[in-house]
């Protein structure tokens, strides 16, 4: 398929996991992709795998200067931007009673502030037909024990799409949320182990965790004109976890 032929995309958190799977799908469908992340080694490995239509920029979404460098690179090489996949996220477990200000700041700096500035700084390069995709989470709908800050931050991301769809009226730019459930990324495999993955998978009606490529496929749909009449929507790719 070449649904994204000639399009330019930015994917934050693009070196591993869902971001890398989306980058691979975008390139396969004809896009030129800039991946953005904090670890140079992972970025280099991703670009080597993705090929000639991929570039990497090192930085953090919580640092505005890093985002400025990202979009300067996009403008210099491509001139404009069609797709923003604001995928970078952070947040580990810390139960009520043990939550610290530092934990809240780290989670919200990445998931909320980082998402806001990722999108806001992209807008001058975007025009009609542009697609913005925000990574939400099933935890933003259901909550998740021990994940106060993370769940709240992802609920905030869901609301950003609703607000921005209003703000972007008349621009021809769409904004939607992709909300995965438990996904078998490299980080999840390392953190959960085989038994933990089985336990998380058993929580879903489909009785398994998602493959990152399955999330990437839905990102490609939201990036393409196949979703041209969608904005302010949330697409749950969670095996039914938050739907029952």
Phi, psi of 201, rounded to the nearest 5 degrees: -60, -35
Handedness of CA 99, 16, 206, 190 (dihedral sign): negative
71 labelled catalytic: no
The one catalytic residue in 24, 121, 150, 200 is 150
Contacts of 169 (CB under 8 A, 6+ apart): none
Report how far apart, in Å, the C-alpha atoms of 89 and of each of 15, 92, 114, 121, 227 are. Answer: 12, 10, 9, 18, 24
75 labelled catalytic: no
The one catalytic residue in 7, 24, 154, 200 is 154
Could you give the residue numbers annotated as active site? 150, 154
């Amino acid at each position: 398929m070449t649904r994204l032929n000639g399009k330019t995309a930015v994917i934050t958190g693009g070196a591993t996991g869902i971001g890398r799977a989306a980058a691979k799908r975008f390139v396969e469908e004809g896009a030129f992709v800039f991946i953005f992340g904090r670890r140079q080694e992972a970025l280099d490995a991703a670009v080597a795998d993705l090929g000639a239509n991929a570039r990497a920029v090192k930085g953090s979404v919580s640092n505005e200067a890093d985002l400025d460098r990202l979009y300067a690179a996009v403008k210099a090489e491509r001139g404009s931007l069609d797709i923003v996949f604001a995928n970078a996220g952070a947040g580990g477990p810390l139960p009520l009673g043990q939550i610290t200000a530092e934990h809240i700041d780290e989670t919200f700096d990445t998931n909320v502030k980082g998402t806001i500035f990722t999108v806001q700084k992209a807008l001058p390069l975007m025009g009609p037909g542009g697609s913005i995709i925000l990574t939400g989470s099933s935890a933003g709908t259901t909550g998740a024990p021990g994940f106060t800050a993370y769940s709240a931050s992802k609920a905030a991301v869901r609301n950003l799409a609703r607000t921005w769809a209003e703000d972007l009226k008349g621009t021809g730019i769409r904004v939607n949320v992709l909300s995965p459930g438990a996904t078998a990324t490299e980080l999840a495999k390392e953190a959960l182990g085989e038994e933990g993955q089985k336990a998380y998978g058993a929580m879903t009606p489909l009785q398994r965790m998602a493959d990152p490529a399955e999330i990437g496929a839905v990102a490609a749909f939201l990036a393409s004109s196949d979703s041209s009449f969608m904005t302010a929507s949330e697409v749950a790719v969670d095996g039914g976890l938050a739907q029952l």
